[in-house]
Structure 1
């Protein structure tokens, strides 16, 4: 089951809010991400399958992707590699949210294109801080480009 919350507008501001794609094989993790993202003023769309990421990216053009690495369908590593090879998607920031805590694995994820790696279980405050940093950075650039065009 995919949880999709496609609204780009927060209830409080009536301004477009950053859109995040959450990808995790565990529905409970996706539900937690939904609550966290709502609390920090972001819209969230979700999928529990790595193979679905590309259609979600094409249809919704998220500002950030929170990606688990162990997924049904394509693995998170395969998803990262494909997104970073594509000119249309290579600049979308990807944050790995994973239980793979080995330092070499984290280094590898950063090498292939993740901007950051958060290890499960994580502190909600840590996730909020990392998401806010990357969303503000990417969202500001994307909004500026849209205004210029």
Structure 2
């Protein structure tokens, strides 16, 4: 790997980690998700209702939305449709995080347009794996840089 390649990767990796929006009307659930995201180093925002989430989306562009389905003002499916209707959210990954845990619920939520599904209650390790699976795609340049800097000679021979 050349010095120019390493410099290019360094500039790409300086970008901030992608932001996450957690939407849940239960404050304890938001605190738990926030702790996991902080532990993983991801910046996050939270909302306790659909209208608040839509307001956040007017000002911020999260890469991932963890969305409860049962919300007080508008359910998560209706909110998903509004999120998807805005072209600025075209690349946003949406995950249903819900107590609707039957197999048919999962199928219906994925068919409705969610990118993934996590049923409550969930293990923290499952939440971490889901977040990493979806956001590490965004950080592939950072991973390549780390590998290249760890052993630049080996990377040069792999070409």
Bigger helix fraction: 2
- In structure 2, runs of 5+ residues without a counterpart are 1-12, 142-159
- Matched residues in 2 for 1:94 and 1:139: separation? 18
Seen in structure 2, the aligned counterparts of structure 1 residues 105 and 55 have a Cα distance that, compared at 3 Å, is same
Matched, 1:64 2:56: no
Alignment match, 1:54: 54
Matched position secondary structure for 1:38: helix
Pairwise mapping of residues 80-119 of structure 1 onto structure 2 (< 5 A)? 80-119=80-119
Alignment match, 1:130: 130
Q: Normalising by the residue count of structure 1, what TM-score does the alignment of the two structures yield? A: 0.80
Matched position secondary structure for 2:88: coil
* More displaced 10-residue stretch of structure 1: 81-90 or 113-122: 81-90
Alignment match, 1:8: none
Runs of 4+ aligned structure 1 residues displaced above 6 Å come to none
* More displaced 10-residue stretch of structure 1: 31-40 or 81-90: 81-90
- Matched residues in 2 for 1:129 and 1:43: separation? 17
Q: Which has the higher contact order (CA 8 A, sep 6+)?
A: 2
| Bigger-Rg structure (1/2) | 2
Matched position secondary structure for 1:88: helix
Matched position secondary structure for 1:61: coil
Report deviation, 1:16.
1.3
- Matched residues in 2 for 1:21 and 1:46: separation? 5
Q: Normalising by the residue count of structure 2, what TM-score does the alignment of the two structures yield? A: 0.75
Give the root-mean-square deviation of aligned CA atoms.
1.9
Seen in structure 2, the aligned counterparts of structure 1 residues 139 and 52 have a Cα distance that, compared at 3 Å, is farther
- In structure 1, runs of 5+ residues without a counterpart are 1-12, 142-149
